[in-house]
Amino acid sequence: MGRMAGNTEDRKIQSVDRTCDILQELGESGGSTVSELAEGTDLTPGTVHTHLSTLASNGFVQQVDGEYKLGMEFVPFGEWVRRQSPLYRAAKTEVDDLAHEYDAVAHLVTEYRGKTLTLYEMAGEEAVGKEVHTAKRGRPQTHIHCTAGGKAILAYLPEERTREIIDDCGLPPYTSHTVTDEETLFAELETIREQEYAINHEEVVHGNRAIGAPVLDDDGTILGSISMSGPASKWRDERFQDELVDAVVRAANSVEINIHTADRSP
């Protein structure tokens, strides 16, 4: 038992670590040559090539026009992971309904390694800005401090974890509206807790606004958030914005009920 409780760092397999580094680099770059991967991972070109050959033989990497890219074998893995998530299963229908009812882009996100990770999103047929979200699907993680869904999560994390995320990831500006001051951000997070929803006023993309609401477990632990985004030009009307806020909060509440009901099912 004592050995099992030991430091996992001492029991890591170096070759697997290297493979993970290569895959991470490929995912972030969208495609790289052997020399670029060697530089990005601090491995020798020979070591990188050996790992790539093994990955390619199993379908996890493919070579296209002299560059290596992630292979199609990852597609079912991603779907399997998503379907295993109780949050995804409880929220998918609510996200779909929001998107189609309000002709907006609706999102389900959670916190992963200090950033927001998109578990699912859906765009209404006439949703404005859905091309932007489609282009981002290959990189589903975003800094957590500037999106409505991210701030809705950040507001309910323990303060120690929030400060840890800020230290690790920073508060980089995406637009001139992005909050980059820690004191200002913490004041906004307090407001979010009081009103139970978050607003993104063109903080990631100019001309785009969003509303996000937290999804909480029975004990108040934050599980993720639901958000909805649309054009700032149409979302300036106070009555319309109030309607959208209510819709997103109700959707998040429905997800919480779905999760709790599923937990109690025999």
Average pLDDT of the chain is 89
Task: Flag whether pLDDT at 6 surpasses 50.
Answer: no
Task: Flag whether pLDDT at 114 surpasses 90.
Answer: yes
pLDDT tens sequence across 30-49: 899 999 999 999 999 999 99
The pTM of the full predicted model, rounded to 2 decimals, is: 0.82
Q: State the pLDDT at residue 136.
A: 55
Q: State the pLDDT at residue 264.
A: 64
Task: Flag whether pLDDT at 92 surpasses 50.
Answer: yes
- Proportion of the chain above pLDDT 70, given as a percent: 89
Q: Given pLDDT bands bounded at 50, 70 and 90, which one contains residue 232?
A: confident
Q: What token pair was written down for 145?
A: 């401090």
Q: State the pLDDT at residue 222.
A: 98
Q: Given pLDDT bands bounded at 50, 70 and 90, which one contains residue 82?
A: confident
Domain ranges of the chain: 9-72, 85-264
Comparing CA positions, the residue from 128, 80, 133, 125 lying closest to residue 109 is: 133
Higher-confidence position of 93 and 81: 93
Task: Flag whether pLDDT at 262 surpasses 70.
Answer: yes
Task: Flag whether pLDDT at 52 surpasses 80.
Answer: yes
Q: State the pLDDT at residue 265.
A: 55
Q: Does domain 9-72 have CATH number 1.10.3130.10?
A: no
CATH code: domain 85-264 is: 3.30.450.40
- Amino acid symbol at 159: E
Q: State the pLDDT at residue 2.
A: 39
Q: How far is CA 245 from the centre of its chain?
A: 21
Task: Return the top range by mean pLDDT from 10-24, 56-70, 129-143.
Answer: 56-70
Q: What token pair was written down for 201?
A: 């006023």
Q: Given pLDDT bands bounded at 50, 70 and 90, which one contains residue 1?
A: very low
Q: Given pLDDT bands bounded at 50, 70 and 90, which one contains residue 61?
A: very high
Span 38-67, average pLDDT = 94
Residue with tokens 């004191």: 183
Residue with tokens 């929803």: 197
Angle, helices 45-57 vs 14-29, to 10°: value is 80
Which stretches does DSSP call E strand in the chain?
A: 61-64, 67-70, 105-112, 115-123, 141-143, 198-201, 208-216, 222-231
Q: What token pair was written down for 247?
A: 């819709």
Q: Given pLDDT bands bounded at 50, 70 and 90, which one contains residue 133?
A: low
Rounded-to-integer distance, Cα 68 and Cα 26, Å: 7
Task: Flag whether pLDDT at 130 surpasses 70.
Answer: no
Q: State the pLDDT at residue 132.
A: 56
Answer whether 139's CB lies under 8 Å from 116's CB.
Answer: no
Q: State the pLDDT at residue 88.
A: 95
Lowest mean pLDDT across 2-6, 16-20, 201-205, 235-239: 2-6
- Proportion of the chain above pLDDT 90, given as a percent: 71
